[in-house]
């Protein structure tokens, strides 16, 4: 387990070096970049089945077009096509609102592309409830990294921030990671 944690830290350092060009990494990240990194870097590096914890970042929540559940903004034709694909009987003369009621009654969950990729590699995904980032150890690690960078950043130049971030990531060790996990477990117990 310790080797897996060290590997995640190493992968994070390499990812930051290659992909993060802006101060706010959310502007650099999208579903394609994240899926590529996950499928080609992180998951192959895991030597045993693992649980990948996901928050609600938009790039974690991309749904394949074929799996999208119709909404009120969908056309009536799209709603009928979805119902037919799901083998749900309906009358073509029904109003769109009636068809959408059938959609809501199916209680079908969204299928995220990232979850499929994770499962295809033999791992499981765990999705945090919205606004519960405190239940994810990586958020504590990232907060520590940002705090270290903020404490020593004098120039605010992107080049310098990248170096400081790389240095701060290198200081995060297994002991600190374990403390973050223990903290999250205590938080979970509160629920």
Q: Residues of the chain whose pLDDT is less than 50?
A: 21-24
pLDDT at 20: 54
pLDDT at 65: 78
pLDDT at 138: 87
Alpha-carbon distance values, 108 to 83, 114, 116, 186 (Å): 11, 18, 16, 32
3-state class of 51 per DSSP?
strand
CA 77 to chain centre: 32
pLDDT at 14: 62
pLDDT at 167: 92
pLDDT at 23: 45
pTM assigned to the model? 0.70
Task: Give the tens place of pLDDT for each residue, 102-148.
Answer: 999 987 888 899 999 999 999 999 999 988 988 999 899 999 999 99
Alpha-carbon distance values, 190 to 75, 139, 187 (Å): 44, 18, 5
């Amino acid at each position: 387990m310790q080797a897996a944690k060290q590997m995640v830290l190493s992968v994070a350092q390499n990812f930051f070096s290659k992909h993060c060009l802006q101060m706010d990494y959310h502007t650099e990240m999208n579903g394609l970049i994240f899926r590529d990194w996950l499928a080609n870097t992180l998951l192959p590096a895991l030597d045993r089945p693992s649980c990948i914890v996901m928050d609600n970042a938009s790039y974690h929540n991309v749904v394949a077009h074929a799996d999208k559940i119709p909404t009120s903004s969908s056309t009536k034709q799209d709603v009928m096509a979805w119902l037919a694909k799901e083998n749900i009987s309906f009358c073509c003369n029904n109003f769109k609102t009636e068809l959408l009621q059938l959609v809501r009654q199916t209680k079908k969950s969204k299928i995220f592309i990232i979850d499929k990729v994770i499962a295809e590699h033999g791992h499981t995904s765990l999705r945090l409830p919205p606004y519960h980032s405190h239940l994810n150890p990586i958020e504590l690690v990232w907060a520590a990294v940002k705090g270290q960078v903020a404490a020593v950043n004098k120039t605010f130049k992107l080049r310098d921030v990248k170096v400081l971030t790389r240095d701060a990531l290198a200081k995060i060790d297994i002991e600190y990671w374990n403390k973050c996990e223990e903290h999250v477990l205590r938080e979970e117990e509160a629920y």
